[in-house]
Amino acid sequence: MIGFTRRILLANSSLALFLLALQSAHGATPSVDHALRLKPTQSDVDLETPTGAEVAKCSVEGKSGGGVAGWIVRNGARQLLRRFLDTNGDSKLDLWCYYNTGIEVYRDIDSDFNGKADQYRWMGTAGIRWGLDGDEDGRIDSWKLVSAEEVTSEVVAALAAADADRFKRLLPSAAELDSLGLGDVQKKEIEKKVAEAARGFVGLAQRQTMVATGSKWLHFGAGLPGVLPAGFEGSTKDVIVYDNVSAIVETGGKHAQIAIGTMIKVAGGWRVIDLPADLSDSQTAALPGGHFFQQPMATRPETMAAEGSLSETVQKLIRDLENVDKSIAAASGPAELATLNARRADVLEQLAENAGNDEERDTWMRQCADSISAAAQSGGYPDGVERLKKLGEKLAKDSEDSGLVAHIKFASHSADYGSSLQSPEADYPKIQEKWLTNLRQFVRDFPQSEDAAEAMLQLAIGEEFAGKPDDAIAWYARIVQGFPSSQLAKKAAGAKRRLESVGKTIDLRGTTLDGKAVSLAAYRGRIVLVHYWATWCEPFKQDVAVLKSVQAKYARQGFSLIGVNLDEEPAAAMDFLRSNSLPWPQLHESGGLDSPLAIELGIITLPTMILVDDQGKVLNRGIHAGELDEELAKRLR
């Protein structure tokens, strides 16, 4: 390790301090002090940095092995604080990882191994943003991945800094608009709005007084996203949008709501198409509204006040919610976590009770149910199941919104199922049967609710895993028929296609991780194994040796493999393949199990392997690695 330490280079100017530490250490492992003084390239990262007496409890360890070398920094409790690594063996660091409470929250990445970071990625409890920096100047040029919530946060940050470039990278590019398949009229309208937003941002940022340098983004506000189905005004693809999005910000202890407008989902996340509302001069007529579905905010009776302010009660509750969330992140044990999750639910219920209109009330109540359900399923709120049951009973009596009642009921069933699995004495077959029974009853009680499609999907998956393909096909078909415009319908149609594929040809085509076009049809004359995998799937890693073996044994006799990687983004797969060569093409599209490659055949579990004959027809839609040798020996004598 000392030899590696002596020769390793850190070309990033931001890491000059670390280089000096190495030079002064005469080849030894760098000191804790110098390691902790390294900072992320991007400033908005909440990371753990011990100070004072805590620094003396930290340690720096050398790491070497598996083609990776570098240093790991831990705190006194042995939790990770930093990782600085060379992942390609060229003796230069290319990965700088930062942690908070033992969880990785951010990393700088040098993907072209020239000593300068060109990607910045948030993760763990810090969100999912993934920025690209083509010119390696430390400023993000475009977003590879960003959530709807994070887009509104970026809009607020751009306003606070009057940073036009930061705002412009949240607008869809020409290529992204082209990829949506919009009809000519819609595309031209959106192009016009985007151009106006880009031109008008600087003036707006200078005029507005709602967001200042010290303003803080707190909350994303919107109803459910909607789908513009293929065929809408000449469109060729489904387009997913949010209308009437807003953001809540805090400035000097006061809260306000900013209108963001309409957002469109693209391959890398979400983009805005509107200029945020200039709320400072009360031009409510200019408030961005619903481009696709809803009236402009200014014409809606429940719109916010012209100055964008919230009631004192709601402002206090939002502050309470923020404080509870901070406490949950720092909770020291199960009892404290359960108390805090209960408190969070209390605050969300109070926000619903104090909502200004039915839509806001519905949003807060759904968030309350989802919060309780998630906490109960993770074991962080043992009383959550009972609370959801009581909440559902109360709403069933008091509310006329059957959709909300159904959502609470579904959240209750999910919480009951997830929390039951947490028990050390869990009887899995019994728990699974109760879960499926509850789902069947839910579908009978709420057949048209938005959650019914999800319930049917879970039922279909359950039947498929139980070895009952006909029953699974029936549930998948009900989703397709009952919810044709939903994303779940696409996955259900694909799963139905997969279950019925034996003896039929399937269409598989795409682009590999290294940019090459591949089509299953081009492999006619050879038996092909289509192998769906992801780096997070441990069973896949156990199958790798078998797959390499059968490829080596049968390739000359007419056998080929096509891999389909279903990691959310390509970086994880590319990192894996650098040290674990798989000598066959690997297709990839962003989105993981929700990517087009997965949806086409409704892939619901990994690894999945489909064996196709030399005529392109499916021989086995779910073959296992251990069965391959015998099957290929039979087919390729």
Q: What is the pLDDT of residues 36-74, one digit of tens each?
A: 888 999 988 999 999 888 999 999 998 877 778 888 999
On the question of pLDDT at 304 being above 70, the answer is no
Backbone angles phi, psi at 452, to 5 degrees: -65, -35
Q: Point out the least confidently predicted range of 89-103, 308-322, 617-631.
A: 308-322
- Residue 260's contacts (CB-CB under 8 Å, 6 or more residues apart) are 151, 152, 155, 245, 246, 247, 272, 274, 276, 288
Fold of 427-500: 1.25.40
Q: Average of pLDDT values for 280-291?
A: 48
What's the mean per-residue pLDDT of the chain? 86
pLDDT of residue 165: 92
- The continuous run of DSSP H or E covering 471 comes out as helix 469-482
Q: Average of pLDDT values for 409-426?
A: 91
pLDDT of residue 68: 82
**Other CB atoms within 10 A of residue 462 CB:** 18
pLDDT of residue 328: 86
pLDDT of residue 305: 37
Q: Could you read off the pLDDT of 61-117 as tens digits, one per residue?
A: 988 777 788 889 999 989 999 999 888 888 888 999 999 988 999 999 998 888 889
pLDDT of residue 507: 92
pLDDT of residue 592: 87
DSSP notation for 533-586 = E-TT-HHHHHHHHHHHHHHHHHGGGTEEEEEEE--SSHHHHHHHHHHS---S-E
Q: Average of pLDDT values for 567-580?
A: 87
pLDDT of residue 286: 44
Listed by start position, the domains of the chain span 2-142, 146-299, 311-419, 427-500, 509-635
39 vs 37: CA distance, rounded Å: 6
pLDDT of residue 74: 94
**Other CB atoms within 10 A of residue 465 CB:** 12
- Is 509-635 in CATH node 3.40.30.10? yes
pLDDT of residue 511: 93
Q: Could you read off the pLDDT of 215-243 as tens digits, one per residue?
A: 889 888 887 788 888 877 888 888 899 98
pLDDT of residue 285: 39
- Residue 197's contacts (CB-CB under 8 Å, 6 or more residues apart) are 167, 171, 272, 273, 274, 275
Q: Average of pLDDT values for 362-374?
A: 91
Q: What percent of the chain has pLDDT over 70?
A: 90
Strand partners, 131: 120, 143
On the question of pLDDT at 142 being above 60, the answer is yes
Q: Average of pLDDT values for 281-298?
A: 50
pLDDT of residue 22: 42
pLDDT band at residue 2 under the 50/70/90 scheme: very low
pLDDT of residue 280: 42
pTM for the predicted model, two decimal places: 0.64
Q: Point out the least confidently predicted range of 198-207, 370-379, 380-389.
A: 198-207
On the question of pLDDT at 426 being above 90, the answer is no
531 vs 544: CA distance, rounded Å: 11
Kindly state the DSSP code that residue 29 receives in the 8-state scheme. P
pLDDT band at residue 301 under the 50/70/90 scheme: very low
**Residue 588: left if φ>0, alpha if ψ -120 to 50, beta else—which one?**
beta
